[in-house]
Structure 1
Amino acid sequence: MIQCLKMVKLKTGSLWFLAAFLFLSTVPTVAEVVEEVSLCEEFLLQGTPPQIPDIIVGRDIQNQNRYKPICQTYNDVRRFLTLYDTQNRIPVFSAYVYREDGKGTRYNKWKIEPQLENRGGNNMVNVERNGIYNNQAGDIDYRKNGLGFDRGHLFPSSHAFNQDDKISTFTLTNIVPQIKAFNGKSWGRMEICGGGSTTRQQQSQRQG
């Protein structure tokens, strides 16, 4: 198995994926919003979170009111980990274990995480078409932004091992804004190459 941590500015090398970006239907999905990234450490390289100044130092989240770890869980199985910035309403990173692209079809029903809105309950819910959320992005942020942004996966559906893994990636808490041409071309090619036998490390310095 290859463990992958997708955290923006790309570098290559090593056996691990790393990428961090600035800026889910009727089958039950449970996304656990927890207090510490170590509670989902099975998705982290050697069980250790990335060191991000002012965000994570050692194993500690510096501002727990702002940054929320989500153990992204689908059909009672944990699929990956996301650290979410509720102030900027974008994920800081998603971490996952890369096994290879398995069988399955693309899933296009988006969901949000109600726990981030203090609504209670564990199940992710379908995003409201024109819903505006205080602590996370909604569908309207991508449909009517006027800037040509697309929904860019941190944990790409194409890197998911099976159908349930693929479905679990279609939460807006795993999405960052990407220019459509970049998402459909250069980034798409990178995802294909990154999923091959040659593994890469992708890393960026988070800004803002």
Structure 2
Amino acid sequence: TILFFLLIKFLLRKSVSTVVNSMSDCDHFLLEETPPQIPGVLEDGKILNQNRYKPICQTYRNKRRFVTLYDIKNKIPVFSAYKYRGVEGKGRPKKHWKIEPQVVSVCRQSKGDFLWHKQTSYNHQAVDTDFRSNGMFDRGHIIPSSYASTENDKRSTFTLTNIVPQAGSFNKGSWSRMESCIRCVMDKYCTNSSGFTEGFVVTGAQPSFSNILNNRVNIPSMLWTAFCCYSTNMEAWIASAHWGNNVPDDAKNKHLQTKTLAELHDLTMHSLWSSCCSRRITIAAPISGAMAPS
């Protein structure tokens, strides 16, 4: 109906998310404007298979909010990156799961607007129906809404190109607790030379070999995340990494161990930042702020 198309037009005007040609088109969310090194995927800032991996400037209400490198074969993000600036308010916005139409029609040139999910199936990305009634896996945020600064930043994270199938108790349990701890660390220590909160976060998923949701979407075997920032108070760069297997938590109050960037590299071979970020020193006890070598 005319009313339906007018509504869609209104919603599109609020969100203009764009599939771009390279990570450099949306590098202001990356420390020193330098993308991670992901062997076989992203090396020296170049996407090795541009037909498969799509960089997306995640945009909401005409403002770029974060960046994602999306794998259209596995239909999950390789990673998303965000510049943390503190959080203005609490709470989680009402869920409106969105899709990215340039990923939907990857061979078609288009404006790249976010769409509120209506269709049931797309060839190049996950959709809401992939997650319904599966009984085990949540729509797990890569960049969590809890890290987002404003209400509109929070809403921008509810795009299915920022989502992976995540074991429910892992998502709501140890992973959620880790996200809260890291946010507290960044709020306390990540203050730049201008006195503003600023931290750089990269979170990604390790695809499994054959574990598939709804015969379409890869279920990652592992999720990983890391942050790096300069702490004016400590007069040093600080960083830490966490990861966990994408399986149900085996204990009610399970906590993920804080690791170094070097340990994350040894596990995944990913190099996230340049030498300014401490590779072998991390926050050992987030609440007390104690520092310890790996």
TM range (shorter): 0.7 to 0.9
After TM superposition, give the deviation of residue 201 of structure 1 in Å: 2.8
Q: Given the alignment, which residue of 151, 158, 164 partners 2:152?
A: 164
Bigger radius of gyration among the two: 2
CA distance in 2, matches of 1:92, 1:181: 22
What pairs with 1:93-108 in structure 2 (closer than 5 Å)? 93-103=79-89, 105-107=91-93, 108=95
Tell me how far 1:122 sits from its aligned partner. 2.5
1:30 CA drift (Å): 1.0
SS of the aligned residue for 1:95 comes to strand
Aligned match of 2:162: 174
- The question of whether the paired residues in 2 share the 8 Å contact of 1:154 and 1:175 is answered with yes
Contact 1:101 1:159 in 2 (8 A): yes
Q: RCO greater where, 1 or 2, for CA within 8 Å and sep 6 or more?
A: 1
CA distance in 2: counterparts of 1:100 and 1:141, whole angstroms: 33
Long gaps (5+) in structure 1: 1-24
SS in 2 for 1:143: coil
Alignment of 1:1-208 (within 5 A): 26=11, 28-103=14-89, 105-107=91-93, 108-118=95-105, 120-128=110-118, 131-144=120-133, 146=134, 148-197=136-185, 200-202=240-242, 203=264, 205=268
CA apart distance, 1:104: 5.2
Counterpart CA distance in 2 for 1:66 and 1:179 is 25
User: Is the contact made by 1:112 and 1:125 (CA closer than 8 Å) also made in structure 2?
Assistant: yes
* Cα distance in structure 2, aligned partners of 1:194 and 1:150: 21
Secondary structure of 2:138 counterpart: strand
CA contact (8 A) 1:67 1:86 kept: yes
Aligned residue pairs total: 180
Cα RMSD (Å) of the superposition?
Answer: 1.9
Question: Aligned residues: percent identity?
Answer: 49
TM-score, structure 2 normalization: 0.58
TM-score normalised to structure 1 length: 0.80
